[in-house]
Amino acid sequence: MFARIVIIILISFFDVLAEEISGIPKIVDGDTVHIDKYKIRLEGIDAPEIRQKCKKEYFKITAPIGYTFYINYLCGKMSTEKLNNKINKSKITCKIFSQDKYKRYLATCFKNKLNLNQWMVKNGYAVAYRRYSKKYVQEEEFAKENKLGLWQGKFINPEKWRKLN
């Protein structure tokens, strides 16, 4: 009896991993959504935490010394809002790859054909999570070169920020 229950649980687990999860998500932060009972982490990206502050250029003096003034802003909140606005209460589809140590499903999520993971990094609202994937490095370079999102100012990498806080 016990073995049969374990087999059913394993089949259910791998069944979810083999499929896609679709629905209208609740946006938790810039790299995490919930669809029904499923907690989904956008694979390959790392967004600032909700409480994380970054700095953006406020005022620049070019001559004679050249100095830039920065102001703090809640970049984690901004990242969350950008993902929320992009999805705009629409249905998304997430292709599940695996689970992380927090039991979240790691997935690439799409709104229609738009890869949301890629969009977040390319627009500078998240960084490529290089420790786990090199998939979005080119998109990060694009955002950095074009000073988009986080790259408009200064920020601590989200992974490092978590360790410090």
DSSP code per residue over 148-165: -GGGGEE---HHHHHHH-
pLDDT of residue 70: 86
Structure confidence at residue 57 as a pLDDT band (50, 70, 90): confident
| Structure tokens belonging to residue 123 | 């627009």
What share of the chain has pLDDT > 90, as a percent? 79
| Structure tokens belonging to residue 55 | 């700095």
pLDDT tens figures, 23-43: 999 999 999 999 999 999 999
DSSP H or E segment with residue 58:
strand 54-61
What's the whole-model pTM score? 0.85
Cα 86 to Cα 120: distance, rounded to the nearest angstrom:
9
Of 2 and 53, more confident: 53
Q: Which domains does the chain have, with CATH numbers?
A: 2-164 (2.40.50.90)
- For 77, other C-beta atoms within 10 Å of its C-beta total 17
